[in-house]
Structure 1
Amino acid sequence: MAARFVVEADGGSRGNPGPAGYGAVVRDGDTGQIIAEAAEFIGHATNNVAEYKGLIAGLKAARELDPDASVDVRMDSKLVVEQMSGRWKIKHPDMQPLAAEARTILPRSRVTYTWIPRERNKDADRLANEAMDAGKAGRQWEPKQPSKPAVTPVQVAEPPLETAAPKAGWAGEADLGTPTTFVLLRHGETALTPEKRFSGSGGSDPELSEKGRWQAERAAEALAARGSIQAIVASPMRRTRETAETVAARLGLEVRYEDGLREVDFGAWEGLTFAEVQERYPDDLAAWLGSAKAKPTGSTESFTTLTHRAGVARDKILARNPGRTVLVVSHVSPIKTLVRLALGAPPDSLYRMELSAASLCAVQYYADGNASVRLLNDTSHLR
């Protein structure tokens, strides 16, 4: 299932026209949690131009998180809301190209516009003012949290478990109730797996191989013996669907699909080995290995982007399954990311984890926001 986001955007100009800036936030449509922020000082402009630029930045941030998402835009600018809804004509030449750009970011059928009073748009307004303050000081806006990676002009907020410190309940001072347990199952092998070829969400979407189907059956046997799985959530890609459905048939459960669990889009690297990528795209590969914000050649997605959509998917599953044990069937990168977030480990720790085909990991999430990794890369059921 594609994500549902709320984008709140605003812009301001001190003098109208005058020094101007915009701000935008992206919220998870189910929880209301802010998952991305954008702000920028844009120089000399009008209020309306700044508001449109805030809208564009918010829509782009939502698209980066999930290009298939539906978005509810909420702004306190009656002008922008009515014009983008098609009820008012856009006559001003400065706004016509901005409105046209906004319409190209996501399909019109997946974007709605709602007017809200200014007091309900405080976060976007705050960011716009921060951007203008930064411009007045001769610099660009930067996030206030230094631990969060800077992205210009969009700053994506890390999921809450990224930097959370252990709380009092962790020491047993409070009854935290039954934790929610994720049993993380990587899909079985495809034809590309033993050759160690990049296989993400932008490639051929391969099916399980004969060995991969055997691995899925062994995982189903092991999970049936475990006897605690109460729900199954999976990436919608073919190899994860086939793996999840094999287990679901054995356990008598239905599979719920979550798009945030899909693998990273590896762009031009899809289907290539690491050596082939190193030979053809050495600079891009070096950048990708050196920074979570770098993207594979031709891809629109980095590990930073993956972190946020995987965090949103995690929070959705937790909200729907408090105190339950959920089988999460996914891919190498999303599973490693969930483990990394649970550990509070840095992004480059992804390169220090082994995750075999059809392997099992387990993470428990507690009511105080803490998490505990209970199992990593278990393949005993395959021996």
Structure 2
Amino acid sequence: MKPQELIDRYRQGERDFPGVDLSDTTWPRECNLSEINLEGADLSNSEFISIAFNKANLKNCNFSGSNFKYVKFVNADLTNAYFIQSDLYDIDFSGADLTGAQFGECRQFICCEIAQAITKNVNFDKVKFGDVNLSFLDLEGCSFYQANFGFSHWTGTNCKNCNFKLANLEYAIFREACLEGANLKQAKLKKANLMKAKLKNASFIGADLTDVNSYLTNYQEAQIIGAIMPDGEVYDPDDDSIVEGGESGGNSTKAEFINTENAPKSPNSPHQAVIINDCIYIAGQIAIDPRLNIMLCDDEITDQTRRVMDNIGAILTAAGVGWSKVVTTTIFMVNLQESDRMNSVYSSYFTNENLPICTCVAVSQLPENARVQIQCIAST
């Protein structure tokens, strides 16, 4: 079928053209195909200029390698559509459903409007963006791997669990954006604005944060090892400091790491404990004898619990506090049927007035085949 034939049939009232092959074609300009059904159609390697696909059903359509200018997809259904290696200039995706759409390696994505579009799990890997406003969108789960942005706006945007690895985000505005769980490893963020951004569990490992405006942004909740921080220094956890706030404001919060020879190293942490903001966070301890650095008491839960609690006690002492300062504990056990015997030892380290809040969790396995592991939080 040729584009003109489809247009003629559309003008006669026909709307359903699912799966049609219209690849390698140039479409007539100033064409209105609103509410057309082209689900699953092959429209690849084609040229679309000044065409309206408003409210169209374009699910699973293949637009790969095509050239788009001044095209309107307002409120269209573009679920799982393919735009791979396409050129898009001045495209209106307002209100469109782009769930699962593939824009990977688009040569340009310039002056495109995606306000109020549904944009979850969209693939924008290696896309070259220009003059695009992504503010206040829900982009959760989208991938921007190696994407190249000019000056981009992300104010208030939900970027939870997005992939920005190796992306160029210089001068990007992420003010009050949600970047929880986002992957920003080795991303370029020079002079970006991260004011009040949420960074819980975000990874900035190896990222360039030079001259970033991070006033009221909490890097404590993110992974920043090897990142170039706003002051130009590479973050090194062995420097015993965690940076909060950049050059533009905010004070640094010092983290005091605790390491004592009277307790073993934690199997999962480089430090036994850290003190931040008057709280002592003690890494999970198992029944390792600090003198020999080996597991003891392999079979008896009471002996293992006593060794674990003695290790925690040594760390508390090194931090300058006692058991009365413990606020909460988390206990991991391989066999919850041993809880009563474990608790008979555990509870003996506290008074009835100072028993901490406790959570006990069943697990299938612990480091060194331990039967119990305990972590806790105390106040200074």
Q: TM-score range by the shorter chain?
A: under 0.3
What is the TM-score with the length of structure 2 in the denominator?
0.25
Structure (1/2) with the larger helix percentage: 1
